[in-house]
């Protein structure tokens, strides 16, 4: 716990997750959620939605000059996604570990992307890369009343 390791304060925090269209298409949402829960993260908010083009463009705005932007928006709107709020100790970093590398060929054993992802584009999950981005991303898809920790 936070008190037993001097100098190493563990904070409960939230991160934002998306189970991408390759996960919903292959009926893998429960299998991915099992990995998330086994890793000690709690799913405290969850909705299955069809992302609009505008929502996907806003969400990935930071990548809009990248060559893969068009393909990424097309993929993220190609089928339903599951948007989630995950809670746990150091949830942002913990979920990035559990997801594995962006390119599944480089993802570590046991990670979601190693187990399930098909390519660098269709890589099963999104997870926020910082606590600040987690807050922004959660606010894009969730109202306070739709999260219960």
Q: List interacting residues with ligand UDP (CB under 6 A).
A: 68, 72, 102, 120-121, 123, 126, 129
Crossing angle (nearest 10°) for helices 91-99 and 131-141? 80
Annotated binding site: 20, 68, 96, 102, 113, 123
The residue (of 16 and 142) whose beta carbon lies closer to ligand UDP is 16
**Contacts with 84 (C-beta within 8 Å, 6 or more apart), sequence order:** 16, 17, 18, 19, 43, 45, 46
Rounded Cα gap, residues 132 and 102, in angstroms: 20
The residue (of 76 and 85) whose beta carbon lies closer to ligand UDP is 76
- Respond yes or no: is residue 126 known to be catalytic: yes
DSSP strands (E only) in the chain: 12-19, 42-49, 81-89, 125-127
The residue (of 13 and 129) whose beta carbon lies closer to ligand UDP is 129
Q: How far is the CB of 27 from ligand UDP (least distance, A)?
A: 20
Indicate which residue of 83, 126, 127, 137 is catalytic.
126
* Chain centroid, CA 116 distance in Å: 14
Q: How far is the CB of 63 from ligand UDP (least distance, A)?
A: 6
Annotated binding site for ATP: 20, 68, 96, 102, 113, 123
Residue numbers annotated as active site? 126
């Amino acid at each position: 716990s936070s008190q037993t390791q001097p100098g190493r304060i563990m904070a409960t925090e939230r991160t934002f997750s998306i189970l991408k269209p390759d996960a919903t298409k292959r009926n893998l949402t429960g299998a991915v959620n099992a990995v998330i829960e086994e890793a000690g993260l709690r799913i405290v908010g969850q909705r299955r939605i069809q992302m609009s083009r505008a929502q996907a463009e806003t969400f990935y705005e930071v990548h809009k000059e990248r060559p893969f932007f068009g393909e990424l928006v097309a993929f993220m709107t190609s089928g339903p996604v599951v948007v989630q709020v995950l809670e746990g100790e150091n949830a942002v970093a913990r979920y990035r570990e559990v997801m594995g590398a962006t390119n599944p060929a480089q993802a570590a054993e046991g990670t979601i992307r190693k187990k399930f992802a098909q390519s660098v584009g269709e890589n099963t999950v999104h997870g926020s890369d910082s606590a600040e981005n987690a807050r922004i991303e959660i606010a894009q898809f969730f109202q306070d009343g739709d999260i219960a920790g």
